[in-house]
């Protein structure tokens, strides 16, 4: 059973606009969340993280929002750039040392 879900397989956005990627999870024990970006023929690269004690974390153009009551997190990219075109995975875990559970990914295309 998929404990982390990314229900949008793909998303297209115009350059300069906001990209919003969504992720839902079912396990209320998850307390640490990450986003990864993956280009073709490369491994995923870490983008941004958030722990359950916060509801927002920013890093440059990237902001992750966490809504614990809704078991939902989102990644905002503002402004979107063509180089952001990639597959984005969200991942979640509970407790230190446990495994991460990954979503199925959302393929973002930023149109110049």
Partner 1 sequence: KAGVTQTPRYLIKTRGQQVTLSCSPISGHRSVSWYQQTPGQGLQFLFEYFSETQRNKGNFPGRFSGRQFSNSRSEMNVSTLELGDSALYLCASSLLAGGDYGYTFGSGTRLTVV
Nearer to partner 1, 5 or 71 (CB): 5
Size of the site for partner 1 (CB under 8 A): 27
Q: Which of 10, 12, 45, 81 binds partner 1 (CB under 8 A)?
A: 45
Give least dist CB 15 to partner 1, A: 27
Q: SS3 letters for the chain?
A: CCCEECCCCEEEEECCCCEEEEEEECCCCCCEEEEEEECCCCCCEEEEEEECCCCEEEECCEEEEEECCCCEEEEEECCCCHHHCEEEEEEEECCCCCCCEECCCEEEEEEC
Interface stretch with partner 1, choices 11-19, 29-37, 58-66, 68-76 (CB under 8 A): 29-37
Which 76-95 positions form the footprint of partner 1 (CB under 8 A)? Answer: 89, 91, 93, 95
Closest distance to partner 1 from the beta carbon of 32 (Å): 8
**Does 33 contact partner 1 by CB under 8 A?**
no
Footprint of partner 1 (CB under 8 A): 2, 4, 6, 32, 34, 36, 41-46, 49, 89, 91, 93, 95-105
């Amino acid at each position: 059973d998929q404990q982390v879900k990314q229900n949008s397989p793909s998303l297209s956005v115009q350059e300069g606009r906001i990209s919003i990627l969504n992720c839902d999870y079912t396990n209320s024990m998850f307390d640490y969340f990450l986003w990864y970006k993956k280009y073709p023929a490369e491994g995923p690269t870490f983008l941004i993280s958030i722990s359950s004690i916060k509801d927002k974390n920013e890093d440059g153009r990237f902001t992750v929002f966490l809504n614990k009551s809704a078991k939902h997190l989102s990644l905002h990219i503002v402004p979107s750039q063509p180089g952001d075109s990639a597959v984005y995975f969200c991942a979640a875990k509970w407790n230190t040392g446990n495994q991460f559970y990954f979503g199925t990914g959302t393929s973002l295309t930023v149109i110049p």
